[in-house]
Amino acid sequence: MPAKGTGVEKPTGNGEARESLQAARAGVRRVRQLLSQPSPEVADQCAALMRDVEVQLGCVAAILQTSGAKPDAEIRVEVEELQAEVAIVAKFLADADRLLTGWLGTIRTRRSGYTDRGQAAPLVLVKQVTLEG
């Protein structure tokens, strides 16, 4: 829409917001791909990508606020879809963290000679002992 009396079109910010949304969507898509190949390096990459997604979404919000433009329906739909995708990835990561923490706790208690309930672990009889010295 041209500004009054100037004939120059005032930027709405929707284009810049769309670019940030596309970058955020690409980041979430990459995280989902990486999660199918679990490793410590992948976990670090996913964390960095999710931080970048957060930054991109912050940029979308800042662009739309500073431009004073009302986001069009397409941008709203994209933001809502991305929000749902991020929620799914976040739930997956939280559940995976809870699972791994539980496994680590179980391994630690068994190595220290106790069950998950804090009782002494059952004795394992060894049939043959060899001493060398």
Tens digits of pLDDT across the chain (133 residues):
444 444 434 445 678 888 889 999 999 999 989 988 878 788 889 889 999 999 998 888 888 888 776 777 888 888 889 989 988 988 888 888 888 888 888 787 767 777 767 777 776 666 776 777 6
pTM over 0.75: no
DSSP 8-state secondary structure symbol assigned to residue 1: -
Residue 99 falls inside a structural domain: yes
CA distances from 79 to 24, 40, 62, 88, 121 (A): 10, 30, 14, 14, 52
Asked, for residue 85, whether it belongs to a domain, the answer is yes
Any domain includes 49: yes
What local confidence, expressed as pLDDT, does residue 33 receive?
A: 92
72 part of a folded domain:
yes
Question: 84: domain range?
Answer: 14-111
Counting the structural domains of the chain, the total is 1
Q: Is residue 5 part of a domain?
A: no
